[in-house]
Structure 1
Amino acid sequence: MKVAASGTWFPDEGSRMPAGEVHAWEPGQNQTACGIPLKRAGLHRFPHVDFTDTDPVTGGSADAVRWSCPRCQAATGGRRGGKRWTRSDPRP
């Protein structure tokens, strides 16, 4: 999944990076993973940035990210921090 964001910023290297509110987006689709239409919401597409890179805890492209959509994170199977839930003692 790639990134769609509400804003854009340019670091010293000169490449365009996402800023503000970020959502997961699949290239070729007209909406985000959580169902928001890109054009109507005014979101910019970033096909060169992976959605996992916009996590402020671990990502390298998250310097100007203010909010990451929790519904998009759930749709991509990721969670902020911690490990995934597993059943430790399943019933037979």
Structure 2
Amino acid sequence: MGKQSTAVAATGTWVDPDGVRRPSGEVHGWRQGMNQTLCGLALSRSRLSRFPHVSWADADPATGAHADAVAEVCPRCAAAMGVRRDSRPWTRHDPRP
């Protein structure tokens, strides 16, 4: 169960011009067959909508294709997917001897 099998649950829904439901608001990671998100929220009690057709990678506001209305990504779900909070986008080119 990696990033490919993780779908999205979100606080809101919007419909794109093609008539497909998309996530909006705060998104959480969700694995099909589970009744809770990766961070432990119960789907029914939290009133989260499930989006089994949207993968976790597509819900990322920076790079995702289905993230037009996503306002926030749950940091606990992102950590469960392996995203580090202190990850640096840079690399050292001239290391010291």
TM (norm. structure 1) is 0.84
% same residue: 55
Name the CA distance, whole Å, in 1 between partners of 2:88 and 2:56: 18
When the two chains are superposed, the root-mean-square deviation of aligned CA atoms in Å is 1.5
TM (norm. structure 2) is 0.80
Give the match for residue 37 of structure 1. 42
Q: Deviations over 1:61-91 (max 9, x none)?
A: 10000110011011011358855xxxxxxxx
Find runs of 4+ consecutive structure 1 residues off by over 6 angstroms. none
SS at match of 1:12: coil
Over 3 Å counting, the alpha-carbon distance change for 1:52 and 1:82 in structure 2 is farther
SS at match of 2:20: coil
Q: What does 1:50-61 align with in structure 2 at a 5 Å threshold?
A: 50-61=55-66
Corresponding residue to 1:72 among 73, 77, 97: 77
Give the match for residue 19 of structure 1. 24
Task: Structure 1 unaligned segments of length 5 or more: list them.
Answer: 84-92
User: How many residue pairs end up in the alignment?
Assistant: 83
Letter in 2 for 1:52: A
Task: Structure 2 unaligned segments of length 5 or more: list them.
Answer: 1-5, 90-97
